[in-house]
Amino acid sequence: MEQKNTREKKAVILLSGGLDSTTVLAIARDAGYACYCLSFIYGQRQAIELEKAKESSARLGAAEHLVLEIGLDRIGGSALTSEMEVPKGRSFAAMEETIPQTYVPGRNTIFLAYAMAWAEVVGADDIFIGVNALDYSGYPDCRPEYIEAFEKMARLATRAGTEGKRSLRIHAPLMNSTKKEIIQMGTALGVDYAATHSCYDPGIDGRACGQCDACLLRLKGFAEAGIRDPLQYKAKEEK
């Protein structure tokens, strides 16, 4: 908070309220950026993550937090935005092989497009996104070649880019990190993981299911890092 207006470098941070994006916010802040956090209400069933995003952006001293409403549930096609079943209890090998129902069509492209527009308005040359190509669910819009292609497109798409004054960069600092490394990094930077949410299918009380891909990867990461996960999980037999 204290350095809010003295930081000259500005960055737009895509902040979902999950473990990865909250760590990314801490990384950007540590690198000296004034952080403009961007979150979306997109019809996701895990809308509780937005509360966490608000908490973390305030706690980590964001310059601004913008929450936009976009109705991706009207498009559907994903277990996160419709009544489709969230896969539970998948093996880590299966996660690497098939793109699950929790994939949201076009999500990162849509989010990055909003981030690009806001970056141009606030005068930010940098966008941070918490995508990860290792411990993840096999989503196509989390791969390095996708991020590179978007960066190239953003330079063609913006006034700032075509006038040659500025060059937009997309940072994906967690791209090649394991969950264990991400948790260790965030812990060292003072992230409070109690103020993050990962579960795709939380109960009405907000507790994580412990069985979806996001929960399983998170639990594995904390176990490997030797750090206690501060979240509460539902017992297996609970619905």
Binding site for Zn ion (CB under 5 A): 199, 208-209, 212, 215
Minimum gap (Å) between residue 75 Cβ and Zn ion: 23
- Token reading at 49: 């993550």
Cα 26 versus chain centre, distance? 12
> At a CB cut-off of 8 Å and minimum separation 6, what does 152 contact?
none
Nearer to Zn ion, 14 or 209 (CB): 209
Tell which residue, 171, 168, 92, 169, has the closest CA to residue 134: 92
Minimum gap (Å) between residue 209 Cβ and Zn ion: 3
Nearer to Zn ion, 12 or 104 (CB): 104
Minimum gap (Å) between residue 170 Cβ and Zn ion: 28
Largest Cα–Cα separation, the chain:
59
CA distance to 1, 29, 165, 196, per residue, from 22 (Å)? 16, 11, 30, 7
Tell which residue, 201, 93, 88, 98, has the closest CA to residue 140: 98
DSSP notation for 45-105: TTTHHHHHHHHHHHHTT-SEEEEEE--GGGT--STTTSSSPPPBS--HHHHHHS--TT--T
Nearer to Zn ion, 139 or 146 (CB): 139
Nearer to Zn ion, 132 or 137 (CB): 137
Nearer to Zn ion, 127 or 212 (CB): 212
Taking the CB of residue 71, how many other CB atoms lie within 10 A of it? 10
Minimum gap (Å) between residue 7 Cβ and Zn ion: 35
The alpha-carbon radius of gyration of the chain (Å, integer) is 17
Nearer to Zn ion, 182 or 219 (CB): 219
List the alpha helices (DSSP H) in the chain.
19-30, 48-59, 92-97, 107-122, 144-157, 159-162, 179-188, 213-225
Nearer to Zn ion, 53 or 168 (CB): 53
Minimum gap (Å) between residue 210 Cβ and Zn ion: 6
Minimum gap (Å) between residue 199 Cβ and Zn ion: 3
Minimum gap (Å) between residue 201 Cβ and Zn ion: 5
